Structure 1
Amino acid sequence: MSKFGVIYAGAQKNVGPSGVTIVIIRKDLIGNARDVTPVMLDYKVHDENSSLYNTPPCFGVYMCDLVFDDLLAQGGLKEVEKKNQRKAKILYDAIDESRVFRCPVEKSVRSLMNVPFTLEKSELEGEFIKEARKEKMVQLKGHRSVGGMRASIHKAMPLAGVEKLVASMKDFQARHA
């Protein structure tokens, strides 16, 4: 934290619901706003009012508190990172070892959170998505501009969910290789 003067973070998906923003600012930077700076962006006003200059988004702040409690209960960010790396490795390994599934993203830039994949026979993608939905695995259809499929394995997705997806992929492969 000491390396930065201001940390401004949109919190959606990782900390809380859309609309929650986290701002951490070093004390020596507070009070230097220009005259044209809107009051809501003058951090001195927020500091003088204990971050309560306006009514905060109570539900969003509450949800962030729950997420922070959960992160701490899991052992902190380092432990959650290890869990996320493990989940991503299991899924990417299954795709890379598959005879029918492919990942269109180069290994060095793959996301730990959103894993895109396709089928060698693209006409089977709808069938795979339909079968997955029957097993209560939803939202696998890829982004409308890219196509294919995408598994979002953010911190809320348990390891068991990734393992279930991989088992489903292996079963599908056995029937369609």
Structure 2
Amino acid sequence: MNIPADKQIMDLAKEVLTFAGHDYTPEQLKEIPKILATKNKYWWCVDMQLWDMMPEVYVEPFTFYSNGHKVPVKDIADQVKRASTVCDDSMVPIHMGHNPIVQFTGEKTARVLTRLNDYHTYNDDDSTYEGWGFYVDDFVKCEDDVWRIRTLRLTYRKILGALRTQG
């Protein structure tokens, strides 16, 4: 199933792409691996179902959008519960992020565009839900010098199979 592009997320992605190829300062170059490590930690926490570690990747106030719709999460604990419901023990989730582009939007803020390909293989019959899409996330550098996700925006463009769990 192909999914129409969400205009708001497409506009944000275009903003990041417009920045791509421009110079980074030496200070920004030092921060990029830290930002990307936080995004990668997010995926590892989902795939390894490390729900106790997952809150470390977020910062309050946290906001989540899925295919252009704001998801009603009360706080970080609620977001972790939602993720643990969607990617529960009935499946083996695998998420792969590709081609990240970091745009610094301030001294301690950044926006990251990342491609996504994910697989959710169900234990009972090996059926698979597979999705292709991208994230446009906002990060903030916190007082402990760790970058965390403030806004998570996921938009799927193509899905094969059916996701059985809903968060």
- If the length of structure 2 is used for normalisation, what is the TM-score? 0.31
Higher relative contact order (Cα pairs below 8 Å, separated by 6+ residues): 2
Name the one with the larger strand percent. Answer: 2
- If the length of structure 1 is used for normalisation, what is the TM-score? 0.30
For the pair shown, which has the larger CA radius of gyration, 1 or 2?
1
